[in-house]
Structure 1
């Protein structure tokens, strides 16, 4: 199995998401969802299919992950049904059981850094968080947390 082998299977997902990002908001919304994930290419790739029951409007999303054998880093693309744009990939790796992934992107026309962190990984649970930085990574605002619980666990 590859680094994302832990995610293979069906999950209940609890989402906690800031209503507005990089504006000093502390107004969080919480909702449920589901995720089905599986490996491809002997663990060198991974796909997840998510359903997010967001109170502002339910939608589907997916992630595709690919290991770059030359660098040992993962590239992760996220796409959801609310947009026709494929987000730039975050890149990174797992060290000591924690995955850290980064990208350059933009929010409302201004450049930002994006960070994904996978942690608290176990047979029946995992945690993912997303953070943005408007100052090149000096400070981070966590704006989305997904808590995964394996179906049937």
Structure 2
């Protein structure tokens, strides 16, 4: 920035502004992604077993969804809405499909998972009813005990590049939690979606493996 003035005291008044602008620029730089860094824990080498999602299969689930209203802007406001999910294994458990129905949002989606026995790793894909597109690349990872971690690169709804993390926690036989977080700066995570699952009666919640509508 260049300041032009013919009043000696005007520069003194402008100095705090110059420093403030510099501080703002530095703060903005701090939020920019560091291409040489990775956010805490990020790894596309997490492994698991073909039985990681057995817990979730063959059941119907009621879930309360919590979604951050805006990502990457420091928002603290959340939407909360109900959903139901039905999960089905295929190929002896090597592939699974979950369909989730979110009636208050007028939306649904499919989670498709495939297990690579050579890598001991799951790949997770999402298809939204809004566009029918299989989202790529996949999230990859697996479980260690009751804790699952999955990671991958992606872009947010505004097209900004992010690192993505899924965390699964199997709380007990009838309860589970899923969390999604984005990293915009390759240094910190912002959790933006949480699903709290409660096991339900599949006969009441599902028709032919799909959520009853």
Give TM-score scaled by structure 1 length.
Answer: 0.92
**Which residue number corresponds to residue 155 of structure 2?**
106
Choose the corresponding residue for 1:21, options 47, 67, 71: 71
Which has the higher Rg, Structure 1 or Structure 2? 2
Question: Greater helix percent: which structure?
Answer: 2
Aligned partner of 2:140 among 77, 80, 91: 91
Partner of 1:4: 53
Match of 2:194 in 1: 145
CA distance in 1, matches of 2:150, 2:65: 19
- 2-structure distance, mates of 1:85, 1:10: 25
Greater relative CO (CA pairs within 8 A, separation 6+): 2
Instruction: Provide the residue aligned with 2:129 in structure 1.
Output: 81
Structure 2 Cα separation of the partners of residues 109 and 99 of structure 1: 27
Aligned to 1:64: 112
Among 25, 32, 40, the residue aligned to 2:82: 32
| Residue aligning to 1:42 | 92
Q: Count residues in correspondence.
A: 150
2:164 aligned with 1:129: no
Identify the structure with the greater strand proportion.
1
Gap runs ≥5 in structure 1: none
Counterpart contact for 1:5–1:38, Cα < 8 Å: no
Unaligned runs of 5+ in 2: 1-49, 202-213
